[in-house]
Amino acid sequence: MEFNDYQELANRSLNGDEQVLTKCALGLASETGEVLNLIQKYTFEHSEVSRKELVKEMGDVMWYLSQIAQWANIPFEEVAKSNVELLKNRYPERY
């Protein structure tokens, strides 16, 4: 799936209003916390990391990121490409 296709499909589930950016920013923080909680349990409680749960929580993070990009009229693919270019400049020996 292409990033922009994902962004468009994900946007169908957004319940938008004047507070959409704040909702998405708070949701992003919350869902990022869920990912961190899985890692914390793995690190300090020696719990197994459920692949299924990790994929779910990472998907939630991705949804919020895509919707913030949608709000700002930024194609999600542009975010991904920009990040890869940053990594190429930061770590040229690996690219």
CATH number at 83 reads: 1.10.287.1080
Residue 4 lies in a domain: no
Residue 3 lies in a domain: no
Residue 22 lies in a domain: yes
Residue 7 lies in a domain: no
Domain residues for the domain of 58 are 15-94
Query: What is the chain's mean pLDDT, rounded?
Result: 95
Residue 39 lies in a domain: yes
Angstrom distances, CA of residue 27 to CA of 2, 10, 58, 83, 91: 23, 14, 12, 22, 31
Q: What is d(CA 49, CA 69) in angstroms, rounded to the nearest whole number? A: 29
The count of C-alpha atoms lying within 13 angstroms of the C-alpha of 12, restricted to the half-sphere facing its C-beta, is 5
Residue 9 lies in a domain: no
For the stretch 30-48, pLDDT in tens is 999 999 999 999 999 999 9
The band of 14, judged by pLDDT with boundaries at 50, 70 and 90, is: confident
Residue 34 near residue 56, CB atoms below 8 Å: no
Query: What is the domain count for the chain?
Result: 1
- Percentage of the residues of the chain whose pLDDT score is greater than 90: 93
- Check whether 65 has a pLDDT greater than 90: yes
